[in-house]
Structure formats: structure tokens, C-alpha cells
Amino acid sequence: MKAFRSSGDAAIRISAQPAYALDIPEGGRLLKSTVQLIRVKQWIKNGFVFVPLLFVFAIPSLSQITRCALGALLFCFVSSSVYIMNDIFDVAKDRAHPIKRTRPIASGAVPIPVAYLLFGLLLATSLVGAFFFDKVVAGIILAYFVINIAYTLFLKKLMFIDVFTISLGFILRLCAGFRILHKPVGESCNIWFILFVMFLTLFIGIGKRCSEIKLLGNDSAGFRESLNGCSIAQLEQLIIMLMTCTIMSYAIFVYTSEIKALFTTAPVLMYGIFRYHFLNEKSTIAGSPELIVYKDRPMRACLLLWTVLFVSICIVRSYTV
């Protein structure tokens, strides 16, 4: 009888538990979900802050590298805060998406209150740190945050405006890098490089939208409103146009540069663009730029070769002039 009463009491205790208790993952599982939430893999995009180091046309000093690294870290924090806010706003749509439903907030791995706390910490760290680092850089980071929040709220619903907004984020990273190194943005060479980055990011963005239509079919507009009325044929025409603009703007950048030997980097760049386009059309990792870079060896080799060529030419030129 005693054993019976004990089991009965246990059953009563179990049934008395609240039906909707907040389930916070324990230890390592929460940490892993948090890393996924802040999109550490996409921090590679903030490497654009380092790109103006190439325009020093010499071996950069430790101070210049350190300052660029700090600027990139601040962008990592603010971009992660934007990712979190975007996931909070889109939680309902993400749960209905065949791939995005596995995201930490949509899957319930990270509770929304925890996500809000992490958002506030990352944003405050980025803005306060940038203010003490460089007030102009702080203004650029604030502009990046405001533009991306506007993107989350309504700009992402507008056809093509959404990809232009994403492209602007990369341009702001470049401008922050130029500011950190005290390099004027208005020089002809720098302007053409910024245009090259704009066309390149638009090419990648439109390619990603095209992949989403292929994946989701007639349901694509339900998951991304900016795709309403878009067709694969239209987007593929834009992709070809943007590939052309990307290559031409890079060629003009090389032509206006002080170092004419940089033309040798153009074939490597062209191969990288062609390879990316091929993978985005045929690969199982289509529509994910960061995964294409991380997982495809020829793409990684191409990026490494371009960087080595560019840096080597600039260093040789600095010692021969």
C-alpha cells in the first residue's frame, strides 16, 4: 500500500506541473544554440573592414592591423544584434520555412527573453565601444544598425530595395575601414573599388533570391515578400548584368590604381565569380554565400590566391618605388 501511495503521489505531482513551463536549454546546448543565433559563420562578412589595408600599398603596421581588427569586432557585435532582432521578428515565418525552422529561436532552442538580453548586450557593447574608439566609426556603426532595423521592419518587403540595403551594409564596412586607416574615400581608385563591392554584393544577393525561388517555388512570396512578382528568368538576367558590372568595375579600379600590375589579379577574380555562379546554380549549398566559401575548396583557393597576389604586388611596389 505504501508503494502504491508513493506512485500515486508521484503521478499527482507530475500532473500538477504547469503545462507551459519555460524550457531553457542546459549548459553546452544553450551555448551551442547561442553561437548559432549570433551567426558566427557570417562574421566573415565583417572582414571587409580589413580590405582598405590593401590600399596602404605597403606592409601595414601592427597598429593599423589592430585598429582594423577592433573595428571588425565591433561590426561583429552589431551585426549579430541585428541577426537576433531579425530572428525575433521573423519567428513565425521561420517556423513555417523548410530550412529556417531549425534556427535557435524558431526551434525554441533559445527562449525569446534570452535572445532580447543577448541583443541588448551586443548592441550596447558595439555602440559604446565604437564611441570611445572613433566617433566617426561609431556613426557608421549606428547608421548600419538603423538601416538594418529598417530592413527588418519594412525594407526587406520591397523588391530589390532589400538587396540594395544588404549591399549598403558592406559599403559601410568598407567606409569604416577607410576611416580607421585615414584613407580618403573620394579618390577615384577607392570609389571604383566601392562600386565593385556594390556590384559584387548585389550579384550575390540577387543570386541568393533566385535560389530561394527555386527552392520554395510558388510559396516563395509567402516567406519573402520582396519576391512577390519575381520570376527566375528575370533574376537570371539581372545576375548576368551584375556579373558584367562587377568585372568591369574591377577592371576600371585596376586601371585607375597607382599599381598597374594589379591587372594580374583580374583573371583570378573572374574565375571566383564564375565558380560562385556555377555553385549557386548547381550545388546543394546554393543560396548560402558563406557556406559556398567555407565548403568549396576551389573558392577558398581562389580567395587565397587573389589575396596573396594583391598583397605581394603592393609590397613589391612599396620596396621598388
pLDDT in tens, 116-153: 999 999 999 999 999 999 999 999 999 999 999 898 88
What pLDDT does residue 32 have?
82
Would you say residue 18 has pLDDT above 80?
no
What pLDDT does residue 141 have?
95
In a domain, 23, yes or no: no
Name, in order, each residue with C-beta under 8 angstroms of 214's C-beta and a sequence gap of 6 or more: 232, 286
In a domain, 6, yes or no: no
In a domain, 160, yes or no: yes
The pLDDT > 90 percentage for the chain reads 39
Among residues 183, 202, 236, the one where a domain terminates is 183
In a domain, 230, yes or no: yes
Would you say residue 238 has pLDDT above 60?
yes
What pLDDT does residue 202 have?
93
- 308 with 237, same domain: the answer is yes
What pLDDT does residue 283 have?
59
Among residues 165, 183, 201, the one where a domain terminates is 183
- 144 with 204, same domain: the answer is no
- 234 with 163, same domain: the answer is no
| Amino acid at the residue 11 | A
Bigger pLDDT: 220 vs 27: 220
What pLDDT does residue 26 have?
53
- 65 with 139, same domain: the answer is yes
- Judged by average pLDDT, the poorest of 23-27, 31-35, 136-140, 166-170 is 23-27
- 191 with 176, same domain: the answer is no
- 173 with 196, same domain: the answer is no
In a domain, 24, yes or no: no
What pLDDT does residue 139 have?
96
Is-contact 52 177, C-beta < 8 A? Answer: yes
- 165 with 37, same domain: the answer is yes
Q: Give the domain range for residue 276.
A: 184-321
CA distance 302 to 92: 39
The pLDDT > 70 percentage for the chain reads 85
- 123 with 209, same domain: the answer is no
How many Å is the Cα radius of gyration of the chain?
23
- 64 with 162, same domain: the answer is yes
In a domain, 1, yes or no: no
In a domain, 68, yes or no: yes
Would you say residue 14 has pLDDT above 50?
no
Would you say residue 225 has pLDDT above 90?
no
- 43 with 170, same domain: the answer is yes
CA distance 45 to 312: 23
| Highest mean pLDDT, choosing among 76-85, 93-102, 108-117, 153-162 | 76-85
Average pLDDT, the chain: 82
- 213 with 260, same domain: the answer is yes
What pLDDT does residue 22 have?
43
What pLDDT does residue 223 have?
66
For the purposes of burial, counting CB atoms within 10 Å of the CB of 52, is it exposed (0-12), middle (13-18) or buried (19 or more)? Answer: buried
Average pLDDT over residues 2-14: 42
pTM summary value: 0.79
- 171 with 189, same domain: the answer is no
Bigger pLDDT: 129 vs 208: 129
- Judged by average pLDDT, the poorest of 98-107, 209-218, 306-315 is 209-218
How many CB atoms sit inside 10 A of residue 272's CB?
19
Among residues 157, 183, 209, the one where a domain terminates is 183
Total number of domains constituting the chain: 2
